[in-house]
Structure 1
Amino acid sequence: MASKGELGILPMATDHARTLPFDLYQRYSVVAKLASEIGKSKGRKLKVLDVGGCAFALDGIRRFLPISEFLADAFVVVLDTQDCQFPNYVVGTGATAPFADGSFDLVVASDVLEHVEPDERGGFVEELSRVSDDFLVISSPFRQDATLLAEQILWDYITSALSVQHVQLREHLDLGLPDKEQMASLFTDKGYAFVEFPSGNVYRWLDMMMARHYVIGLPNGREIVSKLDEFYNVSYSQLDVASPGYRHVFVCSKRGTVNVLENIRKDALAKTRNVKGSGEAEPTVPNLMMALLVLRHSIAAENEHRQQIVEKERHVAHLETLVSQQEKTIADLRQALKDYADNLIATRAKLELTESDLKRIKSGRLLATVMRLQEIFRGRLDARQTN
């Protein structure tokens, strides 16, 4: 097992951090490095605010604070809308942060901006800068062709192959991703110094996301996903900074602490050069874009084919229902016909019996009449003979 400091494991991260979802690990590993660099300039324990920092565990039920796995040496407050019970946790929104001006050395919003309404994003960033005494870190997927296409492909895959919806991704598609140039202009207009760099190559992000969502549906899928994340986190995450990035990180200094920003910029550039010069075969952007387009069309075609099958199955089921109803109607008619025939036979038998009775009755009455007449004639004959 690799020790901390080897491969991609951050020295300041806990053992549990290595099993976090790879994209969550990427976000907070960046925050941890930035906090370390900023902490050197302050020479004391940092006061950090993490906005939107309450996350769900892999089981989708339990919640935890990811930043606590990375910044054990800082005083951290987490602000989020979720109702959680944690020390130094405040329920609220970054749009109206319940803190005084300049309350924190560092304010962080990792992959939060894209979930803010587009017309409220500028005010959101200004509010975060208000409660920061100096540094502000905002990371987000920003609008670019590769990211838009990758998210759409992932959405198509999840909805068609897994028949579920990804709530966060749905918000990305509904609200639209932030504009990177507008973010830069916001800091420039305020006169803030800032640096910006990519985090998480978009093609690898798509590969990992699709792999995770495929594996999660397997037996023991969550355990496998946890191991997949750990493998990526400890072996590759710290090198995954090649452009085009899935997300970009803005590090802003209100006080113009350019020496810290310059160190951050140099570190980011060095890692980007290391990736590009590592000898790893990197597909060209046009080829990858074409592959993503082909994949998306394939997913769309598969989804359409599945829909056609579903419609045909519904039609067949409807026909089977009609046939079943017709068969029941025929069976009911046959039973009614049988009952009618049985009733007819019984009625005929009763009629024959009645006719027989009538014949007997009629025969009996005729015999009685004849016998009566005989008695009368015999009586009259006897009377004549006597006279």
Structure 2
Amino acid sequence: MGSGEVNQIPFDQFQRYNNVKKIIDGLRNGNERYRILEVGANEHQNLERFLPIDKITYLDIQLPKELETNPKYILGDATQMTFEDNAYDIVVALDVYEHIPPEKRNKFIDELSRVSAHFFVITAPFYSEEVKESENRLNTLYASMFKENFIWLEEHAENGLPILSELVQYLEHSDNNFNIISHGNVDIWEKIMSMHFFAAQNPELIMYREKVDQFYNEHIFNCDYSDQSYRKIVIGSKSMTVNKISIGENKQVPLKELAKLQELENSFFELRAFFIKESTEKKLSEFKNDLQQFKIDIAKEKEKEKDKLQLYVNTGIGFSEEQSLAYHLENRNEGSFYFNLSEFNEVKSLRIDPSMFSGIFEIKKVKINNEFCDIKMKGNYVLDLRNETFVFENDDPFIEFSLDKSRKIEYLEFQCMPVKTSTLVSELKTLQNVADEYLTDLKLKNVINNSLEEQVSDSLLKNKSLTGQINNKENEITEKERFIKILEDTNKDLKTEIAKKEEEQRLLALKQTELTAELSGIYSSRSWKLVKRLKSLINK
């Protein structure tokens, strides 16, 4: 991660982690890689962002469930760690020391020293009147905003901050040599932390607060090694000389940077004032709108005292005021309405305006000429429940009844009542319950279908596997049949060759027999006998 990205983290975290980076890199030999343990670590793993080449392990006494299986994290108590001596090259504990119970702090230091082969680093706020008053003011600010104390500052106040002289005395009597560095002017720390609290109350300020953090990290951090610091950095080692380590000589922030920080703070609070004004104006506008709507509602309520239900009759020329009848509703709870329509010619359609105003109305038990009718309805309602209860969002509601054919109507009778919202809610809940039951059944069916699909899928996979095995066996059989055919052909050729050789041998045997007989004849002939005698005479 580049330094630009690291510079964007909150300044308070940057103070801790960047100082540790400077210490470790200052003692590093070339590209030497360290095994580092951070105790009391949290979830953000910031240390590895500053020390990317090192192998870092995190230990905490409590871990969220999602980190319990993370190999980088170990659940453990820093005052009684289970590691062997010198298990890590370096051990760091950043703003942890002040949260250790006072009676366990020496044991905590002993464990950091025991487990670290090279050195250990702790950062923490220590008691001073300036630090105590600064934390008290900040906690009061937080409590006034959020109606509760800031958890860490409250703990500091209850348990008391550690005393630096007590730690120094303990280190002097231990096997460790040590060094103490001050960093983070307490006034600057309080100033920027205040902006953090205001931004937490108003998230629209977070983006600008991040710019303030970045300005501190890039322009003030390296000059902020003030003796009047909020935080101390303690380096201890049983094997190295660390008392001459220096990571910052600048104890005075340049006036130019302080002026710029003040300018950023002014802009931050001007921006806050702008957002407060904008929010107030928005709330005032909403209040005015609500008041105006309230006046309109009151006016409507007064008009509703003059409300009426009106029936329009369409005899083929459309709906008109001339062809309409009205009931003036002195009592809105009137329910049954009767209209004599004998004066009208054949009626094509009817329209009922249940009121002059928006609302929820129940219209049912429609009778034409004393007969209940199944009539197709349409209107400007936004919701229809069971073709009886209708929700009208706008004034001048109406429902139109279309007849299957024009007819003479003597009279029309129906019930029309306003419905209370609570009644509608009850109806909707009933429908919701029915829908929920249907969805439950549907989900169950889906589960069954999914199970069946999985079984079918498994069967298809097994079938595919078996088919593959069968194909392999068939290929093996085909190959073996081909090989057998080759052997049979070879055997046939060999048999033919053997027969040929046997025939040749038989013919040779016959030939030999003939030659033997012929030779025997020669030997027994008179000529051969004369020859033999001549040979014997010649030899003499």
**TM-score grouping bracket, smaller chain normalisation:** 0.5 to 0.7
Q: 1:75 to 1:166 in 2, by over 3 A?
A: same
> 1:369 matched to which residue of 2?
none
Q: 1:1-387 to 2 correspondence within 5 Å?
A: 14-40=3-29, 44-54=32-42, 63-80=43-60, 81-83=62-64, 84-85=66-67, 86-255=70-239, 257-258=240-241, 260-262=242-244, 264-265=245-246, 267-268=247-248, 270-272=249-251, 275=252, 278=254
Residue by residue over 1:304-357, the C-alpha shift from the partner in whole angstroms, topping out at 9 and shown as x without a partner, is xxxxxxxxxxxxxxxxxxxxxxxxxxxxxxxxxxxxxxxxxxxxxxxxxxxxxx
Q: 1:105 to 1:178 in 2, by over 3 A?
A: same
For 1:94, what is the secondary structure of its paired residue?
Answer: coil
CA distance in 1, matches of 2:192, 2:35: 33
Q: 1:18 to 1:281 in 2, by over 3 A?
A: closer
Please report the RMSD computed on the Cα atoms of aligned residues, expressed in angstroms. Answer: 2.2
Q: 1:250 to 1:46 in 2, by over 3 A?
A: same
CA distance in 1, matches of 2:187, 2:219: 17
**TM-superposed deviation, 1:150:** 0.5
Q: Which runs of 5+ in 2 are unaligned?
A: 260-540
Q: 1:163 to 1:29 in 2, by over 3 A?
A: same
For 2:140, what is the secondary structure of its paired residue?
Answer: helix
Q: Which has the higher Rg, Structure 1 or Structure 2?
A: 2
CA distance in 2, matches of 1:70, 1:13: 9
Contact residue 138 and residue 249 of structure 1 kept, 8 A: yes
Q: Letter of the aligned partner of 1:49 in structure 2?
A: L
For 2:161, what is the secondary structure of its paired residue?
Answer: coil
Contact residue 98 and residue 124 of structure 2 kept, 8 A: yes
Q: 1:205 to 1:87 in 2, by over 3 A?
A: same
For 1:220, what is the secondary structure of its paired residue?
Answer: helix
For 2:162, what is the secondary structure of its paired residue?
Answer: coil
Higher helix share: 1
**TM-superposed deviation, 1:92:** 1.7
**TM-superposed deviation, 1:219:** 4.3
**TM-superposed deviation, 1:98:** 2.7
Q: 1:191 to 1:130 in 2, by over 3 A?
A: closer
**TM-superposed deviation, 1:238:** 2.2
CA distance in 2, matches of 1:171, 1:238: 30
CA distance in 1, matches of 2:32, 2:167: 30
| Equivalenced residues, count | 255
For 2:37, what is the secondary structure of its paired residue?
Answer: strand
CA distance in 1, matches of 2:126, 2:202: 32
Q: Letter of the aligned partner of 2:115 in structure 1?
A: V
CA distance in 1, matches of 2:14, 2:223: 13
CA distance in 2, matches of 1:106, 1:184: 20
**TM-superposed deviation, 1:152:** 0.6
Contact residue 140 and residue 149 of structure 2 kept, 8 A: no
For 1:210, what is the secondary structure of its paired residue?
Answer: helix
CA distance in 2, matches of 1:43, 1:22: 28
Higher strand share: 2
For 1:96, what is the secondary structure of its paired residue?
Answer: coil
**TM-superposed deviation, 1:49:** 0.8
CA distance in 1, matches of 2:31, 2:5: 28
Q: Letter of the aligned partner of 1:78 in structure 2?
A: Y
For 2:181, what is the secondary structure of its paired residue?
Answer: strand
